[in-house]
Amino acid sequence: MALVKSHHDGGRRQTVLFLCTGNFYRSRFAEVYFNWLAGREKISWQADSRGLALDPNNFGPISTHTRVYLDRLGIPLPEPLRDPLDATLPDFQAAQLIVALKEAEHRPLMQSRFPEWVEHVEYWRVHDLDFAPASEALPQVKRQVEELFARLQNADDT
């Protein structure tokens, strides 16, 4: 786990930052799902998400695929529902853990935009819609988030 800072921070909530390309689909699902788990289990972590190359063709605040899958899981969307956000240096500085959803896609974007942060990111291998349907990718994100959540929960307990 590539924690940027120590995982114990005087009882304050700590942040995991999920990154994807457009902050519309994968990272938004990871953020909402993680925060739902954190609320249910009452751990000292919260999630946020950003995009590394926002797509002006994405319509609305969040992908329909993400909405449908969260609804199937019985997880409500946060209100108000924000639009996708572009990653900034303060986002990285505020996070104790940074996760990019697909290494092959996001490591080059990190290298070009935030080279000093490339090695502070935990990279997953979850395909976007151009390589995998949402019916495969979102359950994979769900499993990865659950594994990450368990690691952080165990770290909080020690």
Residues 41-52: tens digit of each pLDDT: 989 999 999 999
Q: Is residue 153 part of a domain?
A: yes
Tokens linked to 137 = 């990718």
Q: What's the pLDDT score for residue 153?
A: 86
Q: State the CATH number of the domain containing residue 66.
A: 3.40.50.2300
22: nearest Cα among 49, 48, 47, 55: 55
Q: Is residue 85 part of a domain?
A: yes
Q: What's the pLDDT score for residue 8?
A: 42
Q: What's the pLDDT score for residue 67?
A: 97
Q: What's the pLDDT score for residue 4?
A: 43
Question: How far is the C-alpha of 110 from the C-alpha of 34, rounded, in Å?
Answer: 23
Going by the DSSP 8-state scheme, the letter that residue 85 receives in this structure is -
| Max CA separation in the chain (angstroms) | 45
C-alpha to C-alpha distances, 85 to 53, 101, 143, nearest whole angstrom: 10, 16, 24
Q: For the chain, which ranges sit under pLDDT 50?
A: 1-9
Number of domains in the chain: 1
Q: Is residue 75 part of a domain?
A: yes
Q: Is residue 30 part of a domain?
A: yes
Q: What's the pLDDT score for residue 129?
A: 86
Range of the structural domain that residue 122 is part of: 14-157
